[in-house]
Structures are given as C-alpha cells and as structure tokens.
Structure 1
Amino acid sequence: MDSPDRPDVAGMRAYAEELQGMFQRIQDAGAELHAKARAIQVTETSRDGLVSVTVSARGELVRLDLDPRIYRRPDARHLADTIAETARRATARAQERVVEIFEPVIPTEEIQAHLNGDLEAVMARLTERMGGTR
C-alpha cells in the first residue's frame, strides 16, 4: 500500500517502461534525427529587409548580411536592435524545426523544456511522472 511518503511504485514502473520505449525509439532513429537536427540552418530577414541573419539549430550565428542601404540611416542602436530581433526570430524558427524533427520520439513539452534550458520544468515533469513531490 502506498503512503504519502512513498511514490506510487506502479506509476514509477509505468514511467520507466515509457522511458525505455522512448530511449529505444531514439536509439533506433537517433543517428538520422541527430544528423537532421545538426544540419538545420534558418535565415530570417528583418522587417525592413536590410538585415539577414542565419543561425544553426542551437541558435548560433552562422552568417550575418547587412544591406549597404543601412548606411543611409546611421543609427547604431537601431541597427543593433534590428540584428538582435532578427536573430531571436531565426533562433525561434530553428528551435521549432528541432521540435518537429524529434516529435515522433520525444514528447514536445520535454524537447521544449530542454531547448529552453528550463531544468526546473524538466525536473518537475520527471518528479510528477514518478509520483513524487518536490
């Protein structure tokens, strides 16, 4: 019989079986999915069309293109903000593509939590699924 201090053993077993199935699916498709994810590059163009940013799946800057017309408006702060905003949009799209690739084998919420670096959400979900308390 379960007590408030002990996690639900049947729930833990079910979650362990689910994890085992997930790991098996990842292992079976892992190399192909990993290669697809690593190959992701997303390019976004600023709303004014003067800045183009390409990022990798991890949001790392791969390429930055600036249209020469940016010099007609010598506003460094505006240019910096435009680059940053365009890079954020490109990174968000890259992460969406990573989620799409791994959706068949990993629950979307878990992928998203990992991509966002949200360890708290990952641990809370694990604890919840294991039937424990935090």
Structure 2
Amino acid sequence: MRAYAEELRDMFTRLQDEGPALHAKARAVQTTETSPDGLVSVTVGARGEIVRLDLDPRIYRRPDARKLADTIAETARKAAAAAQERIVKIFEPVIPPEHFRAHLDGDVETVLARLTDQMGGDR
C-alpha cells in the first residue's frame, strides 16, 4: 500500500509540474478523418465536437440522404475516437493509458476497481 501511495504522490507531482502544458496541448488537438469513399471529411476538436465538415460535390451524383447522414456520423465517430487516443497519448507520461481511457469513457466502476486492486483491498 505504501508503494501505491508513493506512486500516486509521484503521479500527482508530475501532473502539477507538467499538467498545464499537457492540458494546453490536449485542448489544441484536432483530428480529421475521411470516409472510405473519400466524399466526406470531418475534423473534430479535443472533445469530439465537429470543427469542420467537408463534402465532396460528387455526393450529389447519387442523392441518398440516409447514406450521407450515416457516413457523416460514422466519420465523425472515427475522428472523435482518434482525437481521444491522441489525448491519451499526450497524458501517457503522467497517467497510465488504461486509467485515462476509463476516466474519459466515464467508466467509474473500472476506475474504482483498479484503485481497489492496486490498494490490495476487497470490494
């Protein structure tokens, strides 16, 4: 338990020292993904919000609103996932990736289970 407490203290110290620069770098993340057919390109910011949407004029050759909407949504999801992975990589020097992913996913049970396991306790 003492080793885990020291690990947490070291992580906290690194976060204090490097956190502001890492946070600024993470906030600046933008990721662009293009659909497999090359007709849709979506750029998202760090939180997965759409920053830019580009549609190739060829989409009008075969108008299919449902397919276009699905393609935009899927391409945006891929871009958001890529942005999240870039953010995980940015914080990797100070936060283990699996912990950070669980936190970003809002998976409180996994976060608490890992803490419990590391502390050698039972739930």
**TM class by smaller structure:** over 0.9
Aligned length: 123
2:108 equivalent among 104, 112, 119: 119
Deviates more, 1:23-32 or 1:109-118: 109-118
Shift of 1:58: 1.6
Distance (Å, rounded) in 2 between the aligned partners of 1:19 and 1:96? 23
Shift of 1:95: 1.2
Q: Which has the larger radius of gyration?
A: 1
Distance (Å, rounded) in 1 between the aligned partners of 2:103 and 2:73? 22
Equivalent AA in structure 1 for residue 45 of structure 2:
S
Percent of aligned pairs with the same residue?
76
Moved beyond 3 Å, runs of 4+? none
RMSD, matched Cα: 1.1
Paired position in structure 1 for 2:53: 64
Paired position in structure 2 for 1:49: 38
Q: Which secondary structure state, in structure 1, belongs to the residue aligned with residue 6 of structure 2?
A: helix
Paired position in structure 2 for 1:15: 4
Paired position in structure 1 for 2:67: 78
Q: Which secondary structure state, in structure 2, belongs to the residue aligned with residue 37 of structure 1?
A: helix
Paired position in structure 2 for 1:8: none
Considering Cα pairs closer than 8 Å and 6+ residues apart, tell me whether 1 or 2 has the greater RCO: 1
Structure 1 residues not aligned, in runs of 5+: 1-10
Q: TM-score, normalised by structure 2?
A: 0.94
Distance (Å, rounded) in 2 between the aligned partners of 1:82 and 1:89? 11
Paired position in structure 2 for 1:3: none
Distance (Å, rounded) in 1 between the aligned partners of 2:48 and 2:113? 26
Q: TM-score, normalised by structure 1?
A: 0.87
Equivalent AA in structure 2 for residue 110 of structure 1:
H
